[in-house]
Amino acid sequence: MFDLIANTASDIYVFSQSTVYEWLVQPLAFDLGLGGLMEDGYEVSGWLVIGMFQIIVIALLFAPLERLRPVEKVIYSRAVYTDMIYTVIHRLGFFRLFFFFSVAPFLDNAFGWLHTKGFSPVQLEDLVPGVTDIGWVSFILYLVVFDFLGYWIHRAQHQWGWWWTLHSVHHSQRQMTIWSDSRNHLLDDVIHAILFSLIALFIGIEPSQYVGIVCLTQLAESFQHANIKLSFGRLGERLWVSPRFHRIHHSVGVGHEFRQGALGGHNFAILLPIWDLLFRTSLFENRYDPTGIRDQVENDVDYGDGFLSQQWLGLIRFSKAIITKFSPA
């Protein structure tokens, strides 16, 4: 049954990818003089298809669920509209277009050079023989690997001051909704995309499985940010990240501090709360606190009202952090 569903989904995906590539990406690439990047362009087409699918699911499935039992009334409509702009930029492939036509070629060249020097990526199927013979087993295994690494990257975003200056854009949303997941500083997105691309190359995951994992993860993250009073119960909360579990991560003070003024927080898991349980960062209290950042709420620190101001202020904070970190004492 899994193979039948997977093959059907794959056929639909390949047809849609080819159509988008032929009618949109390929002409655009040639117009921009980037005809030598056609292989990357075909991959971009796949991300466009996945993004369109995600937005349809968010709008037609998640949005009605969000209205059933909201945590709070939406009063910052402009902030929600800004999050929708982020979602369009990120999920409809505009960010991927930028990434694949700028950063990705450098990564490909770097790995090509390493290959000529005798470097070979670690293939996960070599470490776990036979794993690629069963599609759903290899998919779950790769999903767990990426989720584990995602947990530690997320912790770094909260504990390394320079990185927090960028990631704080995401946490500055005081009215979380299904559109809030993509609210990130673009430089933060670039760093994140580079890290996961490198991981994918190192462990040898098939491109189709990588796309599937990213699609599932992003849809789950969109639902986690929903303005909905929902937990998965005592057992379910420990198996999969719920909106209640993730809202605690966004709670003022609790989510981004180990103690007042000390960067850190709770509930860093992307999909599987087991990592928070193992590394003692979980908080399963039944609470639905206001969201935001302490200095934003208590000291009225400005994190920006719109897309451009949020990006600019984040870049200013980041620059100051880097200068402070590397300036002579």
Q: Would you list the domain boundaries of the chain?
A: 2-318
Contacts of 17 (CB under 8 A, 6+ apart): 42, 45, 46, 49
Q: Average model confidence (pLDDT) for the chain?
A: 85
pLDDT per position as a tens digit, 43-102:
778 888 888 899 999 999 999 999 999 999 998 889 999 999 999 988 876 776 666 666
Q: What is the pLDDT of residue 194?
A: 85
C-alpha to C-alpha distance for 24 and 46, rounded to whole angstroms: 12
- Number of other CB atoms surrounding residue 205 within 10 Å: 25
pLDDT per position as a tens digit, 8-26:
677 777 788 788 877 777 7
If you search the block for the tokens 């003024």, which residue do you land on? 261
If you search the block for the tokens 């009073």, which residue do you land on? 229
Residue 156 binned pLDDT confidence (cut-offs 50, 70, 90):
very high
Q: What is the pLDDT of residue 33?
A: 65
Q: Which position has the higher pLDDT, 132 or 54?
A: 54
What's the pTM value of the predicted model, to 2 decimals?
A: 0.88
For residue 272, pLDDT over 80 is answered with: yes
What is the distance of C-alpha 72 from the center of its chain? Answer: 24
Read off φ and ψ for residue 166, nearest 5 degrees: -90, -45
Q: What is the pLDDT of residue 138?
A: 80
